[in-house]
Structure 1
Amino acid sequence: MQHEISPLMSTLFPYIKAFHILFVASWFAGLFYIPRIFVNLAEETNPAATERLIGMAQRLYRFSGILMIPAIVLGMILWIYYGIGRGPGSGWMHAKLALIVFLIGYHHSLAIILTKFKEGRNQRSHVWYRWFNEIPVVVFAIIAILVVGKFF
């Protein structure tokens, strides 16, 4: 059951939604690009280039982690305060939330992989990272379909 939304919050709703979308897109930019850096790291043999790529990945990981926080907070405001995806016919939201939890885990797995590269302990090939790089693309597509279609 939705509660009465104040005129102020009703006015803010489009801005909250727009900023949620902007922060999600920005967070995903990191989720798309960091594994691509891992592909390059797995192929790289030049120590100077390796150091540069690790630095790029570290900065991007840190920045995308910062962007993840407002994306999640604004999404929670939309979900809790406005009641989006609550009540009957909101199975799509449960599926979306499960995928978001998965993506948070994926994001944190990037830090583990980055640490392995920094310590020279990477055991995986560039081919593995190319497949790993596709995971957030597939999840993003599924989430977009769920949100737009609200099929269940």
Structure 2
Amino acid sequence: MDLTDLLYTLYPYAKSLHIMAVISWMAGLFYLPRLFVYHVEQAEKVQECKPVFLVMEDKLLRVIMRPASVVTWLAGLFMVITPGIVDWSTLWPYTKGVSVIAMTWFHHWLIYRHKDFERGRNKLTGRQYRMMNEVPTVLMVVIVVSVIFKF
């Protein structure tokens, strides 16, 4: 069995793993900004809430989002190197790629916001976090439309 045959054989497994990891990663990307909203709005009222929010945010980042993002990237790159899967003469792989990079940037932006909370330096309001919560939704729409319609 040559490398191309191996890639084709493993492709359905990589695709399945990719989809499961994306679902997990997206769940975290949707939920963490919402946790930040509650952190800002509730922890100001009840001081005992702050450590609880910090633990929840940290676990979401480290236990769910980080591994899911790594698996998403690795499985995605595996699919990209499988011959014949991506038509590089079309626009969709580039719109998806840029959107995935933007999603990764957003993930890292969330990590820095969590560090701000840990250091007591958060400057953003609940409303600002609500607005930022729309970023992964917009990127998800671009990614899904790109992959399904392959324009």
What's the TM-score once normalised by structure 1's chain length?
0.90
Q: Distance in 1 between matches of 2:133 and 2:83?
A: 34
Residues 87 and 139 from structure 1, CA distance in 2 versus in 1: closer, same or farther, beyond 3 angstroms?
A: closer
RMSD, aligned α-carbons? 1.6
Q: Does 1:128 align with 2:104?
A: no
Equivalent residue pairs, number? 147
2:7–2:82: 8 Å Cα contact kept in structure 1?
A: no
Q: How far off is 1:132 after superposition?
A: 0.6
Q: What amino acid is aligned across from residue 38 of structure 1 in structure 2?
A: F
Structure 2 match to 1:17: 15
Report if aligned partners of 1:43, 1:126 keep a CA contact under 8 Å in 2.
Answer: yes
Check conservation: 2:8, 2:82, Cα contact below 8 A. Answer: no
Contact 1:27 1:67 in 2 (8 A): yes
Match of 2:56 in 1: 56
Taking the aligned partners of 1:110 and 1:84, their CA distance within structure 2 comes to: 32
- Structure 2: distance between partners of 1:88 and 1:116: 43
In the alignment, what sits opposite 1:145?
145
Aligned to 1:5: 4
The one-letter code sitting in structure 2 at the alignment partner of 1:135 is V
Determine the C-alpha separation between the residues in 2 that align with 1:88 and 1:124.
42
1:28 counterpart residue number = 26
Deviations 1:14-69 (A, max 9, x none): 12111111111111111111111000011022121121011100110112111111
Matches of 1:48 and 1:133, distance apart in 2? 25
Identity of aligned residues (%): 32
The answer to whether 1:79 aligns with 2:85 is: no
Q: Using structure 2 for the length normalisation, give the TM-score.
A: 0.90
Name the SS of the counterpart of 2:75 in structure 1: helix
Deviation at 1:84, TM superposition (A): 2.5
Deviation at 1:86, TM superposition (A): 3.5
Taking the aligned partners of 1:96 and 1:83, their CA distance within structure 2 comes to 17
The runs of at least 4 aligned residues of structure 1 exceeding 3 Å deviation read none
- Which of 32, 35, 38 is the equivalent residue of 2:36? 38
Structure 1 gap segments, 5+ residues each: none
Q: Which residue of 2 aligns with 1:100?
A: 100
Unpaired segments ≥5 residues, structure 2? none
- Verify the 8 A CA contact 2:95 2:142 in the aligned structure 1: no
C-alpha separation in 2, matches of 1:94 and 1:80:
15
SS in 2 for 1:5: helix
